């Protein structure tokens, strides 16, 4: 695996997803050049730490999914924002005039408390990391009831929910059916 290219891909994914909701440059050619200047060993360690942060969930701290913050921690033993090339290019993240501050404030207005929390809804991001989100009970029940032609009335939806809650095998079958039908049906 070419870890430099993977780190660039991670940043491009974030950049593309963010471009749908904010019009601030998140990642550019200068940032790409910086990542390409890092050693292969450092890039591998950065990638592994980001992967661990994404897979384990944890807090919505953006530093854990930022190659520049993680690199600073690896190289300096702690985040060293004053020597960060991303901060040089986009403004220090803790500065109110930085690109990061602008992006996160716009995301906050849209209901996200960080870039990491925003990325959790990106299918491209989730697919890249192999994260499969289980649908909620309401999503499964409503979807299957609709496909079965049932009306959303007092009897049908609560009855489906009782089946979902009471019988694990029925729940597994409902989720499996939901996953299959969700992507395959034209409507």
The single residue listed with the structure tokens 């994260």 is: 131
Q: Which residues are CB-contacts of 72 (< 8 A; sequence separation ≥ 6)?
A: 78, 79, 80, 81, 83, 84
Instruction: Report pTM.
Output: 0.69
**Residue pair 71/28 in contact by the 8 Å Cβ criterion:** no
**Nearest-angstrom CA–CA distance, 172 and 43:** 40
Integer Cα distance of 6 and 50 in angstroms: 11
For residue 50, which of 18, 6, 89, 84 has the smallest C-alpha distance? 6
Q: 99-127: per-residue pLDDT in tens?
A: 999 999 999 998 888 898 888 888 888 88
Tell me the backbone φ, ψ of residue 10, rounded to 5 degrees. -60, -45
Place of tokens 């870039």: 115
pLDDT tens for the chain, 187 residues long, are: 899 999 999 999 999 999 988 889 899 999 999 999 999 999 999 999 998 888 876 566 788 899 999 998 888 877 788 889 999 999 999 999 999 999 999 999 988 888 988 888 888 888 888 775 566 666 666 666 665 555 554 345 556 566 666 666 666 776 776 666 665 544 4
Give the pLDDT confidence score for residue 138 in this predicted structure. 66
Query: Which pLDDT score is estimated for 154?
Result: 37
DSSP per position, 48-97: HHHHHHHHH-----GGGG-HHHHHHHHHHSS--GGG-HHHHHH--TTSTT
In the three-class reduction of DSSP (H, G, I as helix; E, B as strand; rest coil), residue 186 is classed as coil
């Amino acid at each position: 695996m070419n870890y430099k290219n993977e780190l660039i891909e991670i940043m491009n994914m974030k950049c593309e997803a963010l471009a749908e909701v904010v019009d601030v440059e998140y990642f550019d050619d200068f940032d790409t050049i910086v990542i390409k200047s890092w050693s292969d060993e450092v890039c591998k360690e950065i990638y592994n730490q980001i992967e661990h942060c994404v897979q384990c969930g944890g807090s919505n701290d953006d530093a854990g999914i930022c190659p520049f913050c993680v690199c600073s921690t690896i190289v300096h033993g702690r985040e060293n924002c004053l020597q960060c090339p991303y901060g040089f290019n986009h403004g220090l993240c803790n500065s109110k005039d930085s690109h990061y501050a602008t992006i996160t404030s716009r995301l906050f207005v849209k209901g996200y408390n960080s870039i990491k929390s925003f990325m959790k809804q990106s299918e491209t991001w989730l697919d890249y990391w192999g994260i499969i989100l289980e649908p909620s009970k309401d999503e499964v029940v409503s979807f299957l009831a609709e496909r079965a032609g049932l009306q959303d009335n007092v009897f049908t939806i609560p009855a489906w929910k009782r089946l979902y809650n009471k019988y694990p095998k029925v729940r597994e079958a409902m989720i499996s059916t939901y996953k299959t039908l969700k992507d395959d049906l034209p409507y």
